[in-house]
Amino acid sequence: MQFENIILEVRDGIAFITVNRPKVLNALNDKTMEELKGAFLDVRHRNDVGGVIFTGSGEKAFIAGADINELATQSPIDGKDRSRRGHHILDIIENLGKPVIAAINGYALGGGCEIAMACTIRLASDNAKIGQPEVKLGIVAGYGGTQRLPRLVGLGRALEILLTGEPISAQRAYEIGLVNAVYPQGELLTQAETMLRKIMANGPLAVKHTIEASLHGSQMSLEEGLNLEANVFGLICTTEDMKEGTRAFLEKRPAQFKSK
């Protein structure tokens, strides 16, 4: 797939996916969303990729929101279809089976905040501004903001962000658990890569199933979630990676995982 609005690069096992529309602060239009879908589907099936770092080009914005020109002319049917398409693409990101780190380098508003929340881990630059300003336009968040944000930060804090439409600072996002860490902008991608490589050094099947169990279990009762965890634990015990990992620990050597 040829891309016009994003950049996909694979370096040493990491896919770097960058929204590349800096003149419009990396705003999301329909074409960009389709390209993101294509890029993440490609990455999902690549054996040479163990994880993703997702960011925006330039120093001002991760993704500053949706393309308002497209939103302004949509009908009710168009609006529902747009929301469902967005849900589908963000579900691909969230359930990729590989860790995705959002490197939030500046504004992450509206759809930008929503895409970041679909990523496995969020790291922010110290100049980041994060929020859901849709109510200021007379609309509601449509790419999962009303659902993922309360699950990440709690209902009260989520409603404050969603109803005021005001962005919060990177430090505030860290305080409420919306981002995992804050770094100087010049260090953000390096820190993201360092974290991702630590994750990728672990058993890839264990990483995949840990993400799946955590995501699905968080929507269940504790009893149901614990049953899911037990099933996943039993499944992982059938793998060659489990035998290699435990053997390597006992033999005091680095494990050589093979995703089997």
Q: Which amino acid is at 82?
A: R
For residue 40, is it within any domain?
A: yes
For residue 259, is it within any domain?
A: no
Co-location of 78 and 54 in the same domain:
yes
H/E element, 77: helix 76-94
Of the candidates 94, 114, 240, 244, the residue annotated as catalytic is 114
H/E element, 17: strand 14-19
Q: Are 140 and 134 in contact (CB under 8 A)?
A: yes
pLDDT exceeds 80 at position 46: yes
pLDDT exceeds 90 at position 58: yes
Task: Answer with the one of 200, 223, 241 that is the final residue of a domain.
Answer: 200
Co-location of 128 and 39 in the same domain:
yes
Distance (Å, whole) CA 44 – CA 72: 33
For residue 166, is it within any domain?
A: yes
* Strand bridging mode 14-19 / 51-56: parallel
HSE at residue 220, side-chain half, CA atoms within 13 A, is: 14
Residues in the chain: 260
Q: Is 114 a catalytic residue?
A: yes
Name the average pLDDT for the chain: 94
Q: Which amino acid is at 134?
A: E
Co-location of 101 and 225 in the same domain:
no
Q: Are 37 and 89 in contact (CB under 8 A)?
A: yes
Domain enclosing residue 216, as ranges:
204-250
Of the candidates 34, 35, 59, 134, the residue annotated as catalytic is 134
Q: Coil, helix or strand for 174?
A: helix
For residue 195, is it within any domain?
A: yes
CATH of the domain at 196: 3.90.226.10
Distance (Å, whole) CA 54 – CA 20: 11
Co-location of 216 and 136 in the same domain:
no
Instruction: Quote the pLDDT of residue 73.
Output: 76
Co-location of 68 and 177 in the same domain:
yes
H/E element, 131: strand 129-131
Q: Is 134 a catalytic residue?
A: yes
Co-location of 218 and 186 in the same domain:
no
For residue 180, is it within any domain?
A: yes
pLDDT band at 179 (very low <50, low <70, confident <90, very high): very high
CATH of the domain at 236: 1.10.12
* CA torsion angle 92 98 102 103 (round to 10): -140
The 10s digit of each residue's pLDDT in 234-257 is 999 999 999 989 998 999 999 999
The 10s digit of each residue's pLDDT in 81-130 is 989 999 999 999 999 999 999 999 999 999 999 999 999 999 999 999 99
For residue 93, is it within any domain?
A: yes
- Domain tally for the chain? 2
* The model's pTM: 0.94
For residue 128, is it within any domain?
A: yes
